Structure 1
Amino acid sequence: MPAPRGFAYEQRGADVVITHHGRPVTTLRGARAEHFLAEVRAGDEQVVMARWTGNYRRGNERAARAHPRNRRT
């Protein structure tokens, strides 16, 4: 499983803009931005940004197949 890469973030006042390969992905404001910044300081930046943007689909595909919504009857 390759590690996520290509993420960056920029703090603009109280907002945080997360980009992936130079393209804006999401903007966090207020308490969410503060929580994100605390997590980034405490852990691996790339993994944290991948999780916050939803780009963390690494290994959970098999579990999703068994979800009742995805079962064929």
Structure 2
Amino acid sequence: MARPYGFQYEQRTDGSVVITHQGRAAGTLRGARAAKFLTEVESGDAQLVMARWTGAYKHGNERMARNHPRNSRGR
């Protein structure tokens, strides 16, 4: 089943976590950051957690939102 955002993660034997997006590496977490990520991904929506940890959650719509008529009052 295809995931809507395309994020996946793999926990490696050395304790590190590799996050991939559509088959490409998006980030690697080690040590305490990896442990914190694993607890967070288990307790919430995994796709949104991975998007937030990789920084990919807010790309693509900033320019459109800035140019929207509702947001251009007073400019």
Instruction: Give yes or no for the alignment of 1:7 onto 2:28.
Output: no
TM-score, length of structure 2 as denominator length: 0.71
The CA deviation at 1:60 is 7.7
1:33-67 deviation line (CA, Å, top 9, x unaligned): 0000000000000000000000011698358xxxx
Name the residue aligned to 2:70.
none
Show structure 2 runs of 5+ residues with no match. Answer: 67-75
User: SS of 2:57's equivalent?
Assistant: coil
Name the residue aligned to 1:33.
34
- Aligned-residue Cα RMSD (Å) equals 2.0
Identity across matched positions, percent: 65
Q: Amino acid of the residue matched to residue 5 of structure 1?
A: Y
Name the residue aligned to 2:52.
51
Seen in structure 2, the aligned counterparts of structure 1 residues 60 and 8 have a Cα distance that, compared at 3 Å, is same
- In terms of Rg, which structure is larger? 2
Q: Which runs of 4+ in 1 moved over 4 A?
A: none
Greater relative contact order, per chain length (Cα 8 Å cut-off, separation 6+): 1
CA distance in 2, matches of 1:50, 1:11: 17
